[in-house]
Amino acid sequence: MKTIIFRTDSSYELGSGHLIRCRTLARALKKRGAKVIFISKKIKGNLIKTIEKEFKTYTIEPNSEFKLDSKEKNFYSKTLCSNQFEDFSKTLEIINIKLRTNIDWIIIDHYAIDEQWTKCIKKSKSRYLKESKIFIIDDLINRHFDADIILNQNFYGEYKNDLYNNLVPKGCRQFIGPKFALIGNEYKDLRKNFISRKKISRVLIFFGGVDRKNHTVNIIKQIIDINLPEIIFDVVIGEQNKNYEEIKTLIKKFKNFRLYVQINSLANLIFKSDLYIGSAGTTNWERACLGLPSIVKSISNDQNNIIKNLERAGLTEKFNLQNFKSIFKKYLSNDNLLETKSNLNFQLTEAVGADILSIILLGKETKLRIREISRIDKKLLLYWANDYKVRNNSFSKARITVEEHSIWFEKILSSKNKHQFIITDEFHLPIAQSRFDENSNNLIIDYSIDKLFRGNSLAEEVLKISFLKIYEKLGGSFKIIGKVKMNNIRSLKSFRSIKNGKEKFFEESGIYIFEFSFENKDFLNSLKR
């Protein structure tokens, strides 16, 4: 079992977004068997109690005497309520005295933390941090990190490549874009029932958990002026919102306004809504996942570029308090605009980011499952087959066309001597494929792993579970043959990790041949361990 620490905060100034998205990833890790721990600072307006309901949580007291250095360039540094060295020291104290266990990953989601903090991990003499790796969640792209993985779930379109090349070490893996957005499973389930929005009958209003500038009240007043009794308005605020009584009083006499305070998830409201009015925070990707069109206002500096990139791609539209009515009315009167935005957003993310990242963090501890292919796998198999490295290591390097793949796929489905499998994690997320082609008394194996999961020590388990599946299906009368090019180092390593096989190298062709026999009981037993 891997032990993973989240270091993140919530407060009136920070809002709740950092903590909530960390909770999403933490849930995905926990359900896969990881031990998850939160370390969070007790700043005014925190949501620590929300996290304590699900995860072991330790708190750090803020430094009441902390004063920000006048030379500090990071606008967010004051939100840490201490300097970075002090914050790390308090975190280390919890690890050394209270946890007293080896930490596999430290996940940091905090705009006030950079390489000053992360380098302390590498320099630390704590025996519990000797093997620790660092995972950063960021939105700003404005500071250096000494990290192993960095996640930025925001939309950058064609500009996303190499964003962090000068900010992180060369070996740092970068996961950029809404594909990796930390979205809860409830969104993935609702996504199956997506219907494109074509007319506005219900609107969701949400300016974050805090809404320090009270945009919620301003927008409600403008909507009341327009007079839309036939439309339901769902207003959501957090328990940190200091304007609760004002909002409650304002909407009290209107039957079409409904107020929700600190709800566990926005999923059902987003699914039921036809338009979103609010801030462009972490809910961007939850809304996109369910195809909800939006008009948004920036409530913090980090949201400005996010909105700009989303607008450029036609995914949203920004408003200010002066032009809100005109923009809102445009959506009320233009059904085609609503439908176009809905469809564009739906294509942006599939709500599997937390699952993907959990598998990457847990590596070989991921529990695998295997099944035979079905028609739903046709597009996925073509995507995998045309991956650059798959084609480069294949004996036929030509890119496969849709037509060629369709013919091949139908043959595979109907063939009695070709056996194709999909390997997933225990929650059905596809990770790899394997195929066995019968040739006399031999089974020629072909396998590949999704590029996202390569380098995570999964190949050996993919081979083992594939060997056991074909043994279960056909029995032990066949020998398995694997052919690997000499420059395919990873596959060579994977086949060599399988014990009790034979290996031959043919210099003229530059190909290694691996042979495994089910009649060898030691080989069969090694697969079952």
In this prediction, residue 77 carries a pLDDT of 86
| 159: amino acid identity, one letter | Y
The whole model's pTM is what? 0.89
Mean pLDDT value across residues 301-313? 89
Average pLDDT value for the chain: 92
Mean pLDDT value across residues 336-359? 96
Confidence of residue 396 (pLDDT cuts 50, 70, 90): low
| 288: amino acid identity, one letter | A
Is residue 344's pLDDT more than 90? yes
Percent of the chain at pLDDT above 70?
98
Length of the chain: 529
Work out whether the CA dihedral 105, 262, 9, 90 comes out positive or negative: negative
Is residue 240's pLDDT more than 90? no
Identify the CA nearest to 451 among candidates 431, 465, 436.
431
Is residue 16's pLDDT more than 80? yes
pLDDT in tens, 83-93: 999 999 999 99
Helix-, strand-, coil-residue percentages of the chain, each rounded to 5: 40, 20, 40
pLDDT in tens, 160-183: 778 998 999 999 999 999 999 999
Mean pLDDT value across residues 490-500? 92
Confidence of residue 143 (pLDDT cuts 50, 70, 90): very high
CA 252/CA 246 separation, integer angstroms: 10
Confidence of residue 529 (pLDDT cuts 50, 70, 90): low
- Residue 356: both structure tokens together: 């993907």
pLDDT in tens, 24-75: 999 999 999 999 999 999 999 899 999 999 999 999 999 988 887 766 667 7
In this prediction, residue 14 carries a pLDDT of 87
Percent of the chain at pLDDT above 90?
79
Biggest CA–CA distance in the chain, Å, is 85
In this prediction, residue 323 carries a pLDDT of 95
Is residue 270's pLDDT more than 70? yes
Is residue 395's pLDDT more than 70? no
CA 427/CA 235 separation, integer angstroms: 34
pLDDT in tens, 206-232: 998 888 899 999 999 999 999 999 999
CA angle 120, 38, 348 (to 5 degrees): 95
Mean pLDDT value across residues 267-291? 94
| Beta-strand relationship, 173-176 and 149-152 | parallel
- Check: CB of residue 44 under 8 Å from CB of residue 12: yes
Select the more confidently predicted residue: 282 or 74: 282
Can you say how many angstroms the Cα of residue 233 is from the centroid of all Cα atoms in its chain? 30
| Beta-strand relationship, 502-506 and 511-517 | antiparallel
pLDDT in tens, 355-371: 999 999 999 999 999 99
User: What is the CB neighbour count within 10 angstroms for residue 376?
Assistant: 8
- Check: CB of residue 375 under 8 Å from CB of residue 413: yes
pLDDT in tens, 401-457: 999 999 999 999 999 999 999 999 999 999 999 999 998 889 999 999 999 999 888
In this prediction, residue 299 carries a pLDDT of 86
